[in-house]
Structure 1
Amino acid sequence: METTDAFTGLECRDCESDFDPETGTHRCEDCGGILTPTYDYDEIDVDRETYESRPFDSLWRYHELLPFEPAVAVSMGEGATPAVDCSTLADELGVGRLVIKDEGRNPTGTFKDRGASMAVTAATQHGAEDVVLHSAGNAGQAASAYAGRADLDAHVFLPSRSSFTTKAMVNVHGGDLTVSGGRIGDAAAAADDAIAEHDDWYPLASMVTPYRHEGKKTMLFELVEQLDWTVPDAIVYPTGGGVGLVGMYKAALEWQRLGLIDELPSFYAAQATGCAPIVEAFDAGREQHEPVEHPDTICGGIEIPNPGASRWILESLRETDGGAVATDDDEILDAAIAVAQHEGIEMAPTCAAAASGTWKLAEADEFGPDDTVAIVNTGSGNKDADVLRSHLMSQGV
């Protein structure tokens, strides 16, 4: 494997067992826990000038804090997305500055490309020929695109509720698509059955591979740089599995350890009221969620009733003095339209949960008048334009 100098291996988040990255490829062999890449931070010699001297062209500019060398990366220039100032919305919210990190500008239109680039790179380094995952939609599209670029076969399992766009693009990218049941749990069960029959397939599911959150952590690096090395007071993230949220939390801890930033942002998980296991656990003071028995939200990307990384998500919220918020579907759709009409940024319904949640947090005086607040728009509104248009039509527009 062609790994970076400081990458030391994988550590289990639960039992703290360590694994060599050549042999420890997915979940912990001892307890089944989540593995995460570890580094020898004493071997990392970077400062602000290091990054300022490099082109702002992809997430791989942060390679010292990534597992693999850029020379072996399966990349399409993912990352380097804009952080758009939204002064009109800042005034409405009563905060000093509001920026939207617009991940809809990635190659396949979502932040999933960051995780796919890293995880498919890992698959190639492990000699895989086939990759497999279940997904609500966007991750399957991204995995198919990057697998095709790496000349790997992708086997993607989606629920029937996934958008036509994501299903179509899995096929367009050459992926082997299976549609199973109505919700993500159905797709996960079908994928597990297929993996049991094909032990040579390399899983790319979130928090099964240790590498998707490692790609997504670069959103934090970019955001801080884009704010002229000022850490935002709050980051609001639309949370289902929470892969990007825990990745950004990990990134903030790493840059703080390296002396690149002094403080951590407060992280907020935004969910839909129809599926809000993280919000319920946070409000109840629990360390882990309780699964939602009957999830019901139009926001399919965050309709994750049983998030496997909930302990890590809740830790990131509490250790940064953040919080969790849930809003109704109508409020989420209204927020997506408001952002599009006032600032021009296209947010998919799932992503707009972060915008809607930000409004609710502001109404609860969670932010100060001088605060800088960042919303992560995890995907383009073009993914679900029909849903947004239907919402407008229901209002007589």
Structure 2
Amino acid sequence: METTDAFDGLRCVDCGEQFDAEEATHRCPECGGILDPTYDYDAIDLTREDLESRRFDSMWRYEELLPFTRESAVSMDEGATQLVECPKLADELGVGRVLLKDEGRNPTGTFKDRGQTAAITAAAQHGATDVALNSAGNAGQAAAAYAARAGLDSHVFLPSRAGFTNKAMVNVHGGDMKIVEGRIGDAGAAYEDAMADNDDWYSVKTFVTPYRHEGKKTMLYEIVEQNDWEVPDAVVYPTGGGVGLVGMHKAAKELRDLGLTDEIPSMYAAQAEGCAPIVEAFEEGKAVHETWETPDTICGGIEIPDPGASPLILEALRESDGGAVATSDEAILDSAVTVAQHEGLEMGATCAAAASGAWDLAQEGEFGEDDTIVLLNTGAGNKDDDVLRSHLMGKGI
């Protein structure tokens, strides 16, 4: 494998065992737990000046803090997305600044590209010929795109409610797509059955591959560097599986421990009221969620009733002195429209949970009047244009 100098393998977050990355490819061989990439941080000599001297052109500019070399990455120059000042939203929230990290500007229109560039790179380096996953939509599209880039076959299991754009583009990228009646769990069951019948398929499913959260941690590196190395007071993240939240919290600790920053931001998970297992667990002081029995939200991207990494999510929220908030579908869609009409920025319908969540948190007095708040727009608004337009039509607009 073509790995970076400091990358020293994978550690199980449950049992603590360490494994060689060439031998352990997915879950822990000992206990089935989630594997997390580890590094010899003492071997990393990286300064702010080093980074500032590099072109801001891709997430792989942070290769010293990633498992694979930039040269070996299956990449389409993902990352390096804009961090946009939103003065009107700051006034409305009563805070010092609101910044929107606009992940809709990635190659397939969402932050899923950051995870899939790392996961598909791992698959290619492990000699895979076929990759597979179930997805609510965007991760499946990204996997098909990066698999095509790497010359691999992809097998994508989507629920019937996945958006038309996702379905169309999986086909366009040459992916083998299976549409499953029902929701994300039903697509997951079909994926598991197919994996059992195809031993040669390599999974790029969230928190099954160790690398998707590792790719997404680069969002936090960029946020801090784009903000002149000032750590924001809070990051509000639309949360389903929580991959990006877990990754960003790890990145914040890495920057602090390497001496590049002095603190970590408070992380906030924003969910829909119709499917809020993380919010429920956080409010009840639990270390792990309980499965949400009857998920009911139009925000399919965060409709994850059984997030397998909830202990990591909840740990990140508490360790960072953050929190969790759930808002209604109407409030989420209203927030997407407000951001578009007040700032001109296009948030995906699901992604706007970050904006509606931030409004609620501000009203609860969670933020200070001088705070800098970052909202994660995890996907382009045109992914959900039909949902947003229908919402407006329902209001007679």
Cα deviations by residue, 1:107-153 (Å, 9 ceiling, x for unpaired):
00000000010000000000000000000000000000000000000
Query: Aligned equivalents of 2:208 and 2:181: distance in 1?
Result: 22
Measure, in 1, the Cα distance between the counterparts of 2:200 and 2:344.
45
Letter in 1 for 2:317: L
Q: For residues 288-310 of structure 1, what are the alpha-carbon distances to aligned partners after superposition, in whole Å with 9 as ceiling and x for unaligned? A: 00000110000000000000000
Query: Offset of 1:219 from its aligned partner?
Result: 0.1
How does 1:136-175 map onto structure 2 within 5 Å?
A: 136-175=136-175
Q: Distance in 2 between matches of 1:182 and 1:99?
A: 36
Secondary structure of the residue aligned to 1:390 is: helix
What is the match of residue 27 of structure 2? Answer: 27
Q: Secondary structure at the match of 1:202?
A: strand
What are the superposed Cα offsets for residues 229-276 of structure 1, whole Å, 9 maximum, x if unpaired?
000000000000000000000001111110001000000000000000
Q: Distance in 1 between matches of 2:336 and 2:361?
A: 16
Gaps of 5+ in 2: none
Q: Secondary structure at the match of 1:71?
A: coil
Q: Which residue of 2 aligns with 1:186?
A: 186
| Cross-structure match for 1:356 | 356
- Compute the displacement of 1:371 (Å): 0.2
Amino acid at match of 2:202: Y
Alignment of 1:213 with 2:213, yes or no, is: yes
| Counterpart residue number, 1:110 | 110
d(CA) in 2 for partners of 1:34 and 1:386?
A: 36
* 2:381 counterpart residue number: 381
The corresponding residue for 2:134 is 134
Q: CA deviation at 1:214?
A: 0.5
* Alpha-carbon distance, 1:344 to partner: 1.0
Aligned AA (2:195): I
Q: Give the distance between the partners of 2:343 and 2:16, measured in 1 at CA.
A: 45
Q: What amino acid is the match of 1:249?
A: H
Aligned to 1:14: 14
Q: 1:30, CA displacement in angstroms?
A: 1.0
> Secondary structure of the residue that 2:326 maps to in structure 1?
strand
Distance 1:329 1:290 in 2: 21
* Match of residue 66 from structure 2: 66
Tell me the distance in 2 between the aligned counterparts of 1:380 and 1:306. Answer: 25
- Code of the aligned partner of 1:220: L
Q: Deviation at 1:182? A: 1.5
How many corresponding residue pairs?
397
> Quick one: distance in 2 between partners of 1:179 and 1:18?
37
Alignment map for 1:269-284 (pairs within 5 Å): 269-284=269-284
The residue that corresponds to 1:38 in the other structure is 38
Once residues 326 and 134 of structure 1 are traced to their aligned partners in structure 2, the CA distance between those partners, rounded to angstroms, is: 25
Distance in 1 separating the partners of 2:315 and 2:348 = 27
Which AA in structure 2 matches 1:299? Answer: C
Displaced runs of 4 or more, over 4 A:
none
Q: What letter matches 1:10 in structure 2?
A: L
Instruction: Show CA shifts across 1:331-361 (max 9, x none).
Output: 0000000001111111111100000000000
Quote the residue 1:85 is aligned against.
85
CA–CA distance in 2 between the matches of 1:182 and 1:305? Answer: 13
Q: How far apart are the structure 1 equivalents of 2:11 and 2:374?
A: 30
Amino acid at match of 1:52: E
The aligned residue for residue 56 of structure 1 is: 56
Aligned AA for 1:254?
E
% identical equivalent positions: 71
Q: Secondary structure at the match of 1:70?
A: coil
Q: In structure 1, what residue type is equivalent to 2:157?
A: F
Question: What's 2:323 paired with?
Answer: 323
Q: For the aligned residues, what is the CA RMSD? A: 0.4
Q: Distance in 2 between matches of 1:344 and 1:105?
A: 14
For 1:258, the equivalent position in structure 2 comes to 258
Structure 1: 5+ residue runs without aligned partners? none
- Quote the offset at 1:330 in angstroms: 0.2
> Aligned-pair distance for 1:181?
1.7
- DSSP 3-state at the match of 2:232: coil
Query: Secondary structure of the equivalent of 1:288?
Result: coil
In the alignment, the residues of structure 2 paired with residue 386 and residue 181 of structure 1 have an alpha-carbon distance, to the nearest angstrom, of 21
SS of aligned partner of 1:215 = helix
